[in-house]
Homo-oligomer: A and B are copies of this chain.
Amino acid sequence: MIVLLTGGTGGAKLVQGIHAEVQPEEVVIICNTGDDSVVHGLQISPDIDTIMYTLAGRIDPAKGWGLANDTFVVLEELARLGADTWFRLGDRDLATHITRTQLLGEGLRLSEVTSKLCRALKVSTTVLPMSDDAVSTRIVTTDGELSFQEYFVRARFEPEVTNLWYQGVDTCAPAPGAVESILAAATVIVCPSNPATSIGPILAVPGVRKALQETPAQVIAVSPIVKGRSFSGPAHKLMHALGVEASVVGLATAYRDFVNVLVVGPEDDLCRKDIEALGIRPLVTSIRMDSLADKQQLARKLLGVKSWTM
């Protein structure tokens, strides 16, 4: 069994590559829910949706989130009714949020709702939220404390970040099956998602980090950072809030207690020694995932990693 820890856009690219290479029944995906929020009274789980839509083959390929060929009629009307509409929700996408909100309102847990939505979308890969309990990543900036969506979407990650924390994480429980699947996996892949706001919340869920340390699985992380910059988004702006530098070495430092292999791009080849010094095997290969071929090639590399210890 292969377990993936992922956030949204960046991680979804690798999820797509793995999905093309492995039987869906052999994969468990644990998604960040720290970006979950309530918009227009509807429960939004952006990372879960990005992963589900990717696996269903329906992700908007241009944006990397939302559904392909979606329209924005409801949002236009909500704006007319006076709502803030900076969070762009398409009509088809809204059907997911309406269904999720309805099912949660009926008392189902987020993991049960996710499972139902996956079945409806004909996704047979197991997609798990990191927790059924509400966790909210809070970004402390020089403009005040923001939710992730407020920081990322509304403020376009411009405010200077001084700190971040995961509200509710200390008292949350991992979703049923999350810790168990990490412990039972042959391989765990930490996707190239934001270490601070996508992977960080998952690691902070009680029991998850310990399971990663204790699992007999090969734990492989793919860097979202090349030469101190993130491929997309604000990862490099947020890593210092974790107390590490924005680099593959910083990443290795943050993950050193549970990662066996860190996959970095050839641009960071010079960092091999520093990564090894942290007890992690560096694997240098192209980590660009522009085409499906790129994604599959990287996935095959990861699946071919032989067990390795220092």
Contacts and interface: CB of A to CB of B under 8 A. Distances in A.
A120 B77 contact: no
Interface stretch (A89-97, A170-178, A295-303): A89-97
A89 to B, nearest CB: 10
Interface string A75-93: 1111011110000000110
A76 B95 CA distance: 9
Contacts of A70: 73
Contact of A42 (B71, B96, B98, B121): B98
A239 B102 CA distance: 36
Contact of A74 (B76, B92, B120): B92
A101 B41 contact: yes
B120 A95 contact: no
A286 interface: no
B41 A81 contact: no
Interface in A19-53: 40-42
A285 to B, nearest CB: 39
Contacts of A144: none
B71 A102 contact: no
Nearest to A121: B81
Contact of A95 (B74, B92, B95, B117): B74
A304 interface: no
Given A73-B73, A94-B74, A120 B41 contact: no
Interface band, chain A: 20 to 34
Nearest to A119: B82
Nearest to A43: B41
A289 to B, nearest CB: 28
Contacts of A78: 95, 98-99
A40 B102 contact: yes
B74 A117 contact: no
A92 B73 contact: yes
B102 A41 contact: yes
A73 to B, nearest CB: 4
Interface of A: 40-42, 70-71, 73-78, 80-83, 91-92, 94-96, 98-99, 101-103, 105-106, 117, 120-121
Q: What are the 10 closest A-B residue pairs judged by CB atoms, nearest first?
A: A41-B102, A77-B95, A73-B91, A77-B92, A81-B120, A78-B95, A74-B91, A82-B120, A74-B95, A40-B98
Given A71-B71, A74-B91, 4 more contacts: A77-B91, A78-B99, A81-B121, A94-B94
25 contacts: A40-B98, A40-B102, A41-B98, A41-B101, A41-B105, A71-B71, A71-B91, A74-B74, A74-B92, A74-B94, A74-B95, A76-B92, A77-B92, A77-B95, A77-B96, A78-B98, A80-B95, A81-B95, A81-B96, A81-B120, A81-B121, A82-B120, A91-B91, A94-B94, A94-B98
